[in-house]
């Protein structure tokens, strides 16, 4: 714009030169005045804009500083300690159960203790999600996960059983490895105790403090855990201890388990992830299960993943009744969604109310290659026969829609 004004002025000055020099001097003075006024207005406009920007920036900084002061300094002073907060939450969520003082260790009671024994990749996450979100249930999730595979755990069974017994009594003195491992695992934090919410409110040092964990554990009337990496014959010894423990063994078709483990990072190079190791353990667990059914008919039971998938409502009810835990479906949660899925709840068919489906149970039939199915079946003949799974014999005419993999009740 300055260039345009300047060019016009030059033209006008050229014309004036042809007439008189005094007129030219007068015109120069007028042009200078115009430039001075325009420059002054321009500077004022810039100063107003800078002033507004500075004020807005100052307001934003002030808001952020006030927020930081409240969150990091004032809020910790106003918030109750983690144990007091959780005590209020448990009391509110279990108010429909009446007086639970006979079942909480904080008040000298004896909690209802339960254990889910299974194999990694056997479809336990949805069941654990249901247990973890029941009012009053404290979920130890998978406390032996820091040990690694089954071979590492079973080299020291006495120590491992001692740790599990202590956890059922809310004693964390032997579980520092588990705590350190849990801090790094989002899945562990999601399912373990009250960590998913406490660690969003309090510092990690506070929410993972062993004393706080022990005190929070003692507030709950129901204590549950899952064990993936130890044989049933060892875990059965806990039934003889003063825990009044109930154990449920969850098994799955080994073809489905091996498909679920496919391309999992935690399975790379691990002997426990081989089909032969899986099925040897399934055979061992079946034999032990036969004994325990007779010795502890009210405190030991088995269930197949496929039975849960075919009749989820009935199966979940059966599990909770066996454990002695009141079943209450949370109104705000979509049980039809697997914890690791990316399904939009608004688009999900809620007729499948508990997250199990025949599609997930039998997906291996349409996704596994024939050579993979044959490899599993070759080393799992006894395990499949014992637990009631039918082998694929005619691969030329095999159809996932027509094949029935279940032989009947195990």
Average pLDDT of the segment spanning 175-203: 87
Q: How would residue 262 be classed by pLDDT, with cut points 50, 70 and 90? A: confident
Domain annotation covers residue 34: yes
| % of the chain surpassing 70 pLDDT | 75
Query: Residue 246: pLDDT above 90?
Result: yes
Average pLDDT of the segment spanning 388-394: 94
Query: Residue 34: pLDDT above 50?
Result: no
Residue 219 and residue 154 in one domain? yes
| Residues 254, 286 contacting (CB under 8 angstroms) | no
Among 140, 142, 144, 139, CA closest to 159: 144
pLDDT of residue 195: 84
Residue 136 and residue 64 in one domain? no
Domain annotation covers residue 296: yes
| Residues 140, 224 contacting (CB under 8 angstroms) | yes
Domain annotation covers residue 406: no
Q: How far is CA 27 from the centre of its chain?
A: 81
Distance CA 381, CA 317 (A): 31
pLDDT of residue 68: 67
Strand-pair partners of 138: 223
For 195, half-sphere exposure in the C-beta direction (CA atoms, 13 angstrom radius) is 23
pLDDT of residue 49: 59
pLDDT of residue 298: 95
Residue 68 and residue 161 in one domain? no
pLDDT in tens, 38-89: 456 555 565 555 566 676 677 777 777 776 665 555 655 566 788 999 999 9
Domain annotation covers residue 256: yes
Residue 281 and residue 212 in one domain? yes
Work out how many domains the chain is built from and give that number. 2
Domain annotation covers residue 262: yes
Distance CA 62, CA 50 (A): 18
pLDDT of residue 126: 84
Among 170, 145, 340, CA closest to 226: 145
Query: Residue 13: pLDDT above 50?
Result: no
CATH number reported for the structural domain that contains residue 172 in this entry: 3.40.50
Measured CA to CA in angstroms, residue 120 lies from 33, 48, 262, 330 at distances of 86, 66, 11, 26
Measured CA to CA in angstroms, residue 238 lies from 133, 160, 161, 164 at distances of 25, 11, 7, 9
Residue 63 and residue 178 in one domain? no
Mean pLDDT of the chain: 81
Distance CA 198, CA 189 (A): 10
| Residues 199, 168 contacting (CB under 8 angstroms) | no
Domain limits for position 120 = 106-387
Residue 60 and residue 174 in one domain? no
Average pLDDT of the segment spanning 8-25: 45
Name the least confident of 27-36, 187-196, 280-289, 343-352.
343-352
Residue 139 and residue 192 in one domain? yes
Query: Residue 292: pLDDT above 60?
Result: yes
Domain annotation covers residue 87: no
Domain annotation covers residue 341: yes
The pair of structure tokens assigned to 192 is 């373990």
Strand-pair partners of 389: 406
pLDDT of residue 301: 97
The pair of structure tokens assigned to 351 is 């007729």
Residue 310 and residue 270 in one domain? yes
Distance CA 323, CA 271 (A): 32
Average pLDDT of the segment spanning 269-278: 86
Query: Residue 18: pLDDT above 70?
Result: no
pLDDT of residue 409: 65
Among 368, 380, 153, 364, CA closest to 276: 380
Q: How far is CA 70 from the centre of its chain?
A: 29
pLDDT of residue 119: 93
DSSP per position, 91-124:
HHHTGGG---GGG-GGGT---EEEEEE--TTSS-
Distance CA 79, CA 392 (A): 60
Domain annotation covers residue 238: yes
SS3 state at 352: coil
Average pLDDT of the segment spanning 95-107: 94
Strands in 300-304's sheet, in edge-to-edge order, are 137-139, 222-227, 112-117, 246-251, 300-304
Residue 217 and residue 302 in one domain? yes
pLDDT in tens, 154-174: 889 999 999 999 999 999 999
Q: How would residue 266 be classed by pLDDT, with cut points 50, 70 and 90? A: confident
Average pLDDT of the segment spanning 225-232: 94
SS3 state at 114: strand
Among 376, 369, 329, 381, CA closest to 353: 329
């Amino acid at each position: 714009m300055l260039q345009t004004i300047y060019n016009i002025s030059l033209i006008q000055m050229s014309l004036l030169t042809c007439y008189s020099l005094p007129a030219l001097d007068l015109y120069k003075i007028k042009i200078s005045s115009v430039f001075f006024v325009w420059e002054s207005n321009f500077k004022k406009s810039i100063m107003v804009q800078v002033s507004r920007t500075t004020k807005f920036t100052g307001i934003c900084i002030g808001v952020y500083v006030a927020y930081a002061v409240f969150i990091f300094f004032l809020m910790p002073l106003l918030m109750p300690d983690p144990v007091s907060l959780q005590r209020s939450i448990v009391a509110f969520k279990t108010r429909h159960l009446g007086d639970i003082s006979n079942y909480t260790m904080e008040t000298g009671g004896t909690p209802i203790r339960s254990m889910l024994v299974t194999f990694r990749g056997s479809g336990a996450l949805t069941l654990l999600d249901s247990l973890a979100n029941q009012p009053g249930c404290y979920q130890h999730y998978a406390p032996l996960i820091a040990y690694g595979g089954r071979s590492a755990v079973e080299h020291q069974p006495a120590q491992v059983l001692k740790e599990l017994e202590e956890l059922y009594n809310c004693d964390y003195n032997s579980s520092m490895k588990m705590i350190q491992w849990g801090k790094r695992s989002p899945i562990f934090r999601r399912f373990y105790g009250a960590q998913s919410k406490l660690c969003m409110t309090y510092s990690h040092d506070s929410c993972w403090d062993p004393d706080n964990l022990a005190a929070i554990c003692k507030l709950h009337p129901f204590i549950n855990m899952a064990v993936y990496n130890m044989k049933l014959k060892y875990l059965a010894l806990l039934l003889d201890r003063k825990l009044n423990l109930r154990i449920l063994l969850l098994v799955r078709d080994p073809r489905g388990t091996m498909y679920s483990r496919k391309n999992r990072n935690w399975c790379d190079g691990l002997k426990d992830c081989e089909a032969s190791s899986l099925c040897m353990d399934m055979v061992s667990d079946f034999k032990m299960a036969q004994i325990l059914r007779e010795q502890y008919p009210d405190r030991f039971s088995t269930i197949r993943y496929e039975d849960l998938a075919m009749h989820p409502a009935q199966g979940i009810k059966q599990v909770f009744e066996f454990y002695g835990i009141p079943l209450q479906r949370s109104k705000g949660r979509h049980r039809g969604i697997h914890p690791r899925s990316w399904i939009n709840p608004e688009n999900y068919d809620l007729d499948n109310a508990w997250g199990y489906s025949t599609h997930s149970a039998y997906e291996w039939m349409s996704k596994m290659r024939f050579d993979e199915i044959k490899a599993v079946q070759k080393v799992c003949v006894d395990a499949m026969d014992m637990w009631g799974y039918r082998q694929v014999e005619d691969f030329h005419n095999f159809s996932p829609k027509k094949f029935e993999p279940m032989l009947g009740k195990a």
